[in-house]
Amino acid sequence: MAEAETDALDARYGRTRTHRTRDRLLLAGGAVAFAIVLVAWVVWAGLDGQKPQVEATDTGHRLINEERLVEVSWNLSVPPGNDTACIVQALNEDFTVVGWKVVEVPASTRHIRSLTETVRVAQEANTGLIYSCWLT
């Protein structure tokens, strides 16, 4: 095949020098975009400084209705050395909050602690539980 025919076929099917340069630039641009997205994801997901996890689990409650009190017991799991606060609440039979209290829990060297707190109620309560906990 003559060189002129080969050049014509290359031009026809996009195999010219300008097409190859354009393809290389597109490939390099795609690789750079992928690298930027990957680095951003690593910074966002891995290097953002994980915060300690707080977990509270209800273990029981005791109704002291003649005194309008509910005693709530729970386990608190928090990394040692962190002050924590929890909301303890009492509910009636309609699941309406009839009493609540914010409890400040000082830092400790123990990871898991068992705690009990008494909540005064405005009406007769059926249960008591931990609503939420957070680091202070």
SS3 label, residue 8 = helix
- Residues 32, 88: one domain? no
Q: How far is CA 38 from the centre of its chain?
A: 21
* Integer Cα distance of 136 and 131 in angstroms: 16
- Residues 64, 40: one domain? no
Residue-level pLDDT at 20: 80
- Residues 117, 61: one domain? yes
Cβ contacts of 71 within 8 Å, gap of 6 or more? 61, 62, 64, 116, 117, 118, 119, 128
- Residues 124, 60: one domain? yes
11 has pLDDT over 90: no
Q: How many domains does the chain have?
A: 2
- Residues 20, 66: one domain? no
Q: Residue 43 gets which letter from DSSP?
A: H
Residue-level pLDDT at 48: 64
- Residues 120, 74: one domain? yes
- Residues 123, 65: one domain? yes
- For the segment 46-75, the average pLDDT, to the nearest whole number, is 87
Burial call 72-97: b when 16+ CB within 10 Å, e when fewer: bbbebebeeeeebebbbbbbbeeeee
Residue-level pLDDT at 112: 95
DSSP string covering 42-86: HHHHHSS-PPPP-EEEEEEEEEEGGGTEEEEEEEEE--TT--EEE
Residue-level pLDDT at 43: 81
What is the pTM assigned to this prediction? 0.62
The residue segments making up the domain with residue 63 are 55-135
41 has pLDDT over 80: yes
Answer whether 126's CB lies under 8 Å from 95's CB.
no
- Residues 66, 112: one domain? yes
